[in-house]
Amino acid sequence: MQKETEIKLRASRETLLALREHPLLKKRNKSGWQRHELFNQYFDSADHDLARARVALRLRRDGEQYIQTLKSRGQSVAGLSERNEWDWYLDKPKLDPKKLTDDCWPASLAGLDKKTLKPIFTTDFVREKADIAWGRGKQKVAIEAALDQGQVLAGKQAEPISELELELRQGEPTALLELAIELATELPLMPCDISKAERGYRLHDPAHYQVQLPAPALTADMPLDEAIPALAWHLLGNSGRLAEQYRYSGHWRLLVDWLEQLSGLRALLASLGQAAPRASSRELRELLDALIGDWRPRIEAGLHDEQARQAAPQLFAAELGQTRWGLFSLKASLWLLRRAWTEKRNERGQRAGQAPVGRWLARLLNEEIAALPLERYQNQPYDLPEQLPRLERMCAWLRLARGVLDVPEADRLYGELHKLAELARSANDEDSLQARAAQVQTVWMLKAWKALK
């Protein structure tokens, strides 16, 4: 078994051609580009038991060589993935179930008859790969760069493959992101943690594809420094998966949810106080503000205008044709991997980072509530939009972390505050103003609101 650490970046064919001639890769290329035709058959049971167990089983033909591979899903966020991989070299193009022994086969699949595994889909593509190496301080970095072009095939359904894979062979995972950021500064590269296997399953059975990631498991006594990356990786990972699925399907709700993840991440960064000095996240906040500033008006228009919804896929394709979405995702991933918010903070910030998240969050919400005079907005509901940043901060935390609070009806608090934030974004017509005033009264009377005051 070997552990595979890689980053996958969706790219256009034009971008792949530019990467092949990119000065940075040319300078660090130690092997030249080598061409391989890869033909891959993926196997599963009729009920997709392997997919549910988060493993992929593949038979590959590379020239005259046949390779059977089992991959665990592992962790995969914003294009950067870590997973376990087992390879067996075979003499003939036939799956060998006897190789799938207990040391690699998931315990959850112990009762599955391996003889029932059958081909589900194929991924056939041409790979041009090169060994990229350079010195990083006193350490050597070695990365295999692969330019993949081909297609995923499931029955009569097909989807093109066009992507750059960077696989770490030596060095720290941060080196992968640093190289990807240098490339994405000039070229549109979209981090994508959706594997070729997942795309095959999506074609084979569209209902199978999981758009959003499971919510992070937080506990009240978890240090804030551990809760920050858990929440941020979740929001960033979801934004990437939603962007990929919207690019693929064009379903309007996915774009709305994509913006919600970005807004949640922006609110998270704005709420951390001395635990994450503002200088450490300034670049990320600026990139997020630019994205949200452009896309929120478009999405708000699309809520009431069919023409705006119809125009959105083309606008989103143009967004992915620029560098800023990929660059933001990669820089946010590097920020999280480096735990950059912990650097250069003062002693008070260190104490905040070590505080139990349940206690820290109760204090944060207490401060936000104290600065939100609801009685005023019941009488002057037209002024409520000025409190949107505060409402978004509170909603961002409550959406994913309300379980760490020791207050009654925390779920209801989140739901009612979310409604209030939505009403604050609505137009200042008479019906909306009345609804705002009524919703302010509802929030004001909540048991959780009173407990946190």
Instruction: Supply the DSSP string of 266-323, one letter for each residue.
Output: HHHHHT-GGGS-HHHHHHHHHHHHHHHHHHHHHHHHHTT-HHHHHHHHHHHHHHHTSS
Categorize the per-residue pLDDT at 78 as very low, low, confident or very high, splitting at 50, 70 and 90. low
- Among 210, 237, 262, give the residue marking a domain's end: 210
Q: Same domain, yes or no, for 161 and 309?
A: no
CA quadruple 238, 243, 247, 253: dihedral sign? positive
If one counts every other C-beta atom within 10 angstroms of the C-beta of residue 94, the result is: 9
Residue 400 lies in a domain: yes
Average pLDDT over residues 212-235: 94
Per-residue model confidence (pLDDT) at position 385:
94
Q: Same domain, yes or no, for 69 and 195?
A: yes
Per-residue model confidence (pLDDT) at position 282:
96
In three-state secondary structure terms, 31 is: coil
Amino acid at 272: L
Q: Same domain, yes or no, for 135 and 234?
A: no
Q: Same domain, yes or no, for 167 and 232?
A: no
66, pLDDT greater than 80: yes
Q: Same domain, yes or no, for 336 and 293?
A: yes
Q: Same domain, yes or no, for 98 and 148?
A: yes
Categorize the per-residue pLDDT at 205 as very low, low, confident or very high, splitting at 50, 70 and 90. confident
Phi, psi of 192 (to 5 degrees): -145, 110
Instruction: Please check whether residue 378 is in contact with residue 444, taking contact to mean a CB–CB distance below 8 angstroms.
Output: yes
DSSP 208-276: G---SPPPP---TTSBHHHHHHHHHHHHHHHHHHHHHHHHHH--HHHHHHHHHHHHHHHHHHHT-GGGS
Per-residue model confidence (pLDDT) at position 5:
87
Average pLDDT over residues 313-329: 96
pTM above the 0.85 mark? yes
Residue 311 lies in a domain: yes
247, pLDDT greater than 90: yes
DSSP 258-273: HHHHHHHHHHHHHT-G
* Triad 221, 227, 230: Cα angle to 5°: 135
Half-sphere exposure of 47 (CA within 13 A, CB side): 8
- Mean pLDDT of all residues in the chain? 93
Categorize the per-residue pLDDT at 79 as very low, low, confident or very high, splitting at 50, 70 and 90. low
Q: Same domain, yes or no, for 14 and 122?
A: yes
Average pLDDT over residues 117-143: 94
Residue 250 lies in a domain: yes
Residue 6 lies in a domain: yes
C-alpha–C-alpha distance, residues 128 and 115, integer Å: 34
Residue 415 lies in a domain: yes
Categorize the per-residue pLDDT at 116 as very low, low, confident or very high, splitting at 50, 70 and 90. very high
Q: Same domain, yes or no, for 340 and 397?
A: no
Q: Same domain, yes or no, for 265 and 396?
A: no
Per-residue model confidence (pLDDT) at position 138:
84
Per-residue model confidence (pLDDT) at position 298:
96
Q: Same domain, yes or no, for 13 and 141?
A: yes
Q: H or E segment at 76?
A: strand 75-77
Instruction: Please check whether residue 217 is in contact with residue 136, taking contact to mean a CB–CB distance below 8 angstroms.
Output: no
Residue 262 lies in a domain: yes
Q: What is the pLDDT of residues 254-282, one digit of tens each?
A: 999 999 999 999 999 999 999 999 999 99
209, pLDDT greater than 90: no
C-alpha–C-alpha distance, residues 335 and 229, integer Å: 10
- Residue range of the domain that includes 263: 213-218+225-346
Residue 351 lies in a domain: no
Pure H helices in 71-121: none
Categorize the per-residue pLDDT at 428 as very low, low, confident or very high, splitting at 50, 70 and 90. confident
Average pLDDT over residues 360-375: 95
Percentage of the chain beyond pLDDT 90 is: 82
Residue 68 lies in a domain: yes
Q: Same domain, yes or no, for 8 and 134?
A: yes
Cα–Cα distances (Å) from 127 to 18, 187, 232, in that order, read 15, 20, 33
Of the listed ranges 58-72, 139-153, 203-217, the one predicted with least confidence: 203-217
Q: What is the pLDDT of residues 34-63, one digit of tens each?
A: 999 999 999 999 989 998 888 999 999 998
Number of domains in the chain: 3
373, pLDDT greater than 80: yes
- Among 210, 234, 264, give the residue marking a domain's end: 210
Per-residue model confidence (pLDDT) at position 24:
96
Average pLDDT over residues 138-153: 95
The enclosing domain of 2 has a CATH number of 2.40.320.10
76, pLDDT greater than 70: no
| Pair type for strands 65-72 and 80-90 | antiparallel
292, pLDDT greater than 90: yes
- Among 320, 346, 372, give the residue marking a domain's end: 346
Q: Same domain, yes or no, for 367 and 419?
A: yes
